[in-house]
Amino acid sequence: MARAVSTRTKIGWTIAAWIVALLIFFPILYTIITSFKTEPEAISGFSLIPSGTLESYWEVQSRYNYFQPFMNSVIISVGSTVLALLVGIPAAWSMAFSPGRFTKDILMWMLSTKMMPAVAVLVPIYLLFRDWGLLDSRIGLTVMLMLINLPIVVWMLYTYFREIPGEILEAARMDGATLWGEIVYVLTPMAVPGIASTLLLNIILAWNESFWTIRLTTVNAAPLTAFITSFSSPQGLFWAKLSAASTLAIAPILIMGWFSQRQLVRGLTFGAVK
Amino acid sequence: MGNITLSNVSKAFGTTVIIPNIDLAIEDGEFVVFVGPSGCGKSTLLRLIAGLEDVSGGTISIDGRDVTNEAPARRKLAMVFQSYALYPHMTVAKNIAFPLKMAGESKEVIDKKVADAARVLNLSNYLERRPGQLSGGQRQRVAIGRAIVRQPTAFLFDEPLSNLDAALRGTMRLEISELHQQLKTTMIYVTHDQIEAMTMADKIVVLNAGNIEQVGSPMELYLKPANLFVAGFIGSPTMNLIKGEPAAKLGAATVGIRPEHLKLSTSEGEWKAKVNVAEHLGSDTILHVQSEIAGAMTVRADGGADIHHGNTVYLTPDPSRLHRFDKDGKAL
Ligand SMILES: Nc1ncnc2c1ncn2[C@@H]1O[C@H](COP(=O)(O)OP(=O)(O)O)[C@@H](O)[C@H]1O
Ligand SMILES: [Mg+2]
């Protein structure tokens, strides 16, 4: 009896989970489906079965250069993440292992910057970029995204480092490890999984960041987010091409995400599951 | 050599004083147990000796050398932590080898010493496993292995058995005692369990609220507790402490009598009492009784005693085994 109930509950939850997952995934799926339709097909109404044409891809590929925005996206997302780690690792480290009186306040303050809508600082940032000649430059955008994601990077790393038991570091000290030995043989191997999760999640966040990337670039530094936007131009609705461009834009990150699922789940749950 | 001397050592975290002032001399080769209730500062004192915490005042010296301001690694002490603190990403062999590697030993020396330690600790079949794949007792042994390979001046143990089940605790207690017989190295062992203290120690240091209440051999503490705290802490079941008229008759504020030093009779004796609970352990019988004159008491009778709940018994304390304490709790 008890067994029957628990099986039924399990099935119920499984179905619920699938429905939620499909609901979340559906827009992406429909984008991919639409990318294989012709333009008339795309606007003719709801249909899950495309004609399977590669027309949109050909046009996107031949009329617009996919490679440059793709490279820009790679450079900007990887660059900003690496920069954020370079700054974030020492910061999170010191906060986790030798917290001061204000550590908690600093962490909250950093997070609070994420509570403000980005548009609130659009004008000052835009003017700074203009005056420093950073508009439409990869360096400017990389630094910008690094700063945008830094609070999350520091928070994630802080949570991971806090999980490393202090007694293990003390054991290393008792075992005669120098500070260097402690870092190389004990801390780093234990911190690497957390750093890897942070890295992956932040590459994704930076890859998809579309507020600053669109507003601070025009041509040269424009990443894939700007590339997609150029297809939703006011001259007309090109849904199939827009979908093809979107699919091309998310494909690399989707593939990367697929291969690093385990690390990502750890990252998204912020180390809550061991 | 492994003489450790603490003089005027004190420790405060911020404004909270944990250890007001401690003087203590530990002789080479001794097995010293710090025992006391939870939160009394045992771990803090051990960590001060290890160098993992800085003293707030006083000096610590090892073999006559002042090490108060030296880093843990330079004190040549080995420590076994309560949580074992094994390196989770290293195999058992690598864990045990770690101190040797840090000391810059050659690979041959390391391999030989790790193999020796593994043999002594019954770990030879587990050398390639990770700590996560071991049982609690095996992890404990790895932690001990990591401590012994380096031949330290002294071993520090912080409640090493508290995460093990009762049976394993008994075996490990013996193993650690045997290890001490073999190595004859100074050991400082922290526990809140007075049975561990009594069974293992050459010398027990009873701590209470950061102060040393008494230092002595297990039998000294058992036979001559210096104060009420030690009297109540050492011995199992705990000593009966009687206040009021029966104590005043003996010229004390409190008198203490251990459960095993009460003569039991069903017909006559000094204190009449009613049995509440009788625990028949086979080897002995523990009686929890209520006496009109002396209050609630515990008595240890022989295993064969045919006494049950509701029986009336008479208790007579052995006068030579009575402990008398003044109103401040000091032994008279
Ligand atoms: N790093 C610390 N900061 C502040 N208080 C501490 C610290 N370490 C220990 N204490 C306090 O010191 C007291 C003694 O702790 P501890 O030495 O761990 O006790 P024991 O090992 O005897 O149980 C406790 O009240 C504990 O809260
Ligand atoms: Mg403790």
**Residue B158 in domain:** yes
Q: CATH number of the domain at B184, please.
A: 3.40.50.300
| End position of a domain, from candidates B196, B231, B266 | B231
List the single residue in B with minimal CA-CA distance to A175.
B99
pTM over 0.95: no
Q: How far is B39 from chain A (nearest CA, A)?
A: 18
A174–B79: do the CB atoms touch at under 8 Å? yes
My answer on whether B32 and B166 are in the same domain is: yes
Which residues does B213 contact at the CB level (< 8 Å), separation at least 6? B36, B206, B207, B226, B227, B229, B230
B45 alpha carbon, closest ligand = 1
Q: Do strands B323-325 and B254-257 pair parallel, antiparallel, or not at all (unpaired)?
A: antiparallel
Q: Distance (Å, rounded) from C-alpha A125 to C-alpha A120?
A: 10
Which residue in B47, B87, B95, B100 has the most chain A C-beta atoms within 10 A of its own C-beta, making it the best mutation to test that interface? B87
| End position of a domain, from candidates B231, B265, B300 | B231
- A271 pLDDT band, cuts 50/70/90, is very low
B232 CA → ligand 2 middle, Å: 20
My answer on whether B205 and B252 are in the same domain is: no
Question: Could you state, in order of their start, the residue ranges of all structural domains in chain A?
Answer: 66-230
My answer on whether B96 and B181 are in the same domain is: yes
Which residue in A98, A101, A174, A179 has the most chain B C-beta atoms within 10 A of its own C-beta, making it the best mutation to test that interface? A174
CB B272 within 8 A of CB B291: yes
Q: What angle do CA B138, B142, B147 make, to 5 degrees?
A: 145
Task: Examine the pLDDT at A171 and tell me if it is beyond 60.
Answer: yes
A174–B71: do the CB atoms touch at under 8 Å? no
Q: What percent of chain A has pLDDT above 70? A: 93
Angle at which helix A138-163 crosses helix A122-131, to 10 degrees, equals: 120
What pLDDT was estimated at residue B115? Answer: 95
Q: Distance (Å, rounded) from C-alpha A17 to C-alpha B240?
A: 63
| End position of a domain, from candidates B231, B256, B286 | B231
Quote the ipTM score: 0.85
What pLDDT was estimated at residue A4? Answer: 60
Q: Distance (Å, rounded) from C-alpha B35 to C-alpha B227?
A: 15
Q: What angle do CA B244, B246, B251 make, to 5 degrees?
A: 85
My answer on whether B203 and B285 are in the same domain is: no
Domain that holds residue B63: 4-231
Q: Which of B22, B25, B29 is nearest to B154 (CA)?
A: B29
Whether the CB of B87 is below 8 Å from some CB of chain A: the reply is yes
What pLDDT was estimated at residue A116? Answer: 85
CB B28 within 8 A of CB B1: yes
Chain mean pLDDT for chain A: 86
What would the two tokens of residue A201 be? 């999640």
My answer on whether B204 and B246 are in the same domain is: no
What pLDDT was estimated at residue A234? Answer: 61
> What atom of ligand 1 comes closest to residue B37's alpha carbon?
22
**Residue B330 in domain:** no
**How many domains, in total, are found in chain B?**
2
Chain mean pLDDT for chain B: 93
- A274 pLDDT band, cuts 50/70/90, is very low
Q: What is the pLDDT of residues A212-245, one digit of tens each?
A: 888 888 888 888 888 888 877 666 678 888 888 8
Write the DSSP symbol of residue B326: -
Q: CATH number of the domain at B255, please.
A: 2.40.50.140
My answer on whether B169 and B225 are in the same domain is: yes
My answer on whether B197 and B276 are in the same domain is: no
My answer on whether B214 and B261 are in the same domain is: no
My answer on whether B217 and B130 are in the same domain is: yes
My answer on whether B172 and B255 are in the same domain is: no
Q: What is the pLDDT of residues A112-160, one digit of tens each?
A: 988 888 888 899 999 999 999 999 999 999 999 999 999 999 999 999 8
pLDDT < 70: residue spans in chain B? none
B41 alpha carbon, closest ligand = 1
What would the two tokens of residue B239 be? 């000593």
Residues 145-164 of B with CB under 8 A from A: 146, 150
**Residue B248 in domain:** yes
**Residue B307 in domain:** yes
What pLDDT was estimated at residue A86? Answer: 93
Q: Which top CATH class is A66-230?
A: mainly alpha
Ligand 1 binding pocket mutation candidate from B43, B83, B205 (most atoms within 8 A of CB):
B43
My answer on whether B142 and B168 are in the same domain is: yes
Task: Examine the pLDDT at A273 and tell me if it is beyond 50.
Answer: no
Which residue is listed with tokens 């990591």?
A: B146
My answer on whether B80 and B226 are in the same domain is: yes
